Amino acid sequence: MRISELSRHSGVPITTIKHYLREGLLPPGRATAATQAEYEESHVRRLRLIRALIGVRGLSVNATRELLSAVSEHEADTHQVLGLVLGARPVTEPESESEEEDRPGIADADALLTEMGWQVSEHAPAKSVIAETLETLRSLGVDYDWRSLLPYATLAERTAAHDLDQLDDTTDPLEQAERALLLTVLLEPALLALRRLAQEDESAKRYGG
C-alpha cells in the first residue's frame, strides 16, 4: 500500500508517519521510486502499537523506540511482548541489586507473590507499588500487611484471565500487544469507577436508612 493508504488504515496522519520513519520507530517501506515506497500490513500493526504507546501509555519517542527495539527481539514470545508493552517488566533488567530490594515492603510483596504462586519478573515495577503502599499504611498506623491483600489478589487474578481471554481472536503479537495496552490503560479508570459504585451500593445495603 502507498503511504496514503497506510495512513487511512492505521488512523495515523501522513506527517506523523513520516516523523516516525525519520525517528526510526517505523521501518522503511519497499522503495518503488526515488520518493515513493510501498508498505505492508505489518506497518499498519506497528503504527497502531506506536500510537497506543505514545498516545495512550504516554511514552516519549525515545522511550518508544527503545521499547520497540526490545519488542522486536522477543516478537515470537507473546508473554515477553505483553510484559514489555504493558510495563509489567522493564525494558532492560538492572545489572545489580538495588537498595530497594532491602525494603520491608519488597519482602511483603515477594511473600504475596509466593502465596499466590504467580510467575512474575524479579524486577517487576508493580512490586514497588505494592511495597510502597504497605509501607505507607504501616507508617500511618494501619495494621495492614500482605495477607490483607490476598482477597484483592484473587480478584485481580480473575480479572487478568478475563483480560487475556479478550486477546484470543488474534495470534499476531503486535496486534495482541496493542489491544492489551488499550484495554489495560483505558479501562483502568472505569474499573476504579466500578469499585466506587459497588462500594456505594454495598454501603447502602449495610448502612442505608
HEC sequence for 132-190: HHHHHHHHCCCCCCHHHHHHHHHHHHHHHHHHHHCCCCCCCHHHHHHHHHHHHHHHHHH
Indicate the pTM of the whole model. 0.81
Confidence at residue 146, expressed as pLDDT on a 0 to 100 scale: 95
Phi, psi of 2 (to 5 degrees): -75, 170
Q: Tell me, what's the pLDDT at 96?
A: 53
CA-based nearest residue to 62, from 87, 26, 25, 27: 25
Residue-level pLDDT, tens digit, the chain, 209 residues: 899 999 999 989 999 999 999 999 999 999 888 778 999 999 999 999 999 999 999 999 999 999 999 988 888 899 999 999 998 877 776 655 555 566 789 999 999 999 999 999 888 899 999 999 999 999 999 999 999 999 999 999 999 999 999 999 988 888 999 999 999 999 999 999 999 999 999 999 999 87
Burial class (CB in 10 A: 0-12, 13-18, 19+), 103: middle
Distance CA 49, CA 55 (A): 10
Cell, residue 138? 504501616
How many helices (H) and strands (E) the chain has is answered by 9, 2
Q: Give the pLDDT of residue 99.
A: 55
**What would the pLDDT profile of 123-175 be if each residue is shown by its tens digit?**
889 999 999 999 999 999 999 999 999 999 999 999 999 999 999 998 888 89
Three-state DSSP state, 65: helix
Helical (H) or strand (E) element with 67: helix 61-73
Q: Which of 92, 95, 53 minimizes the C-alpha distance to 70? A: 92
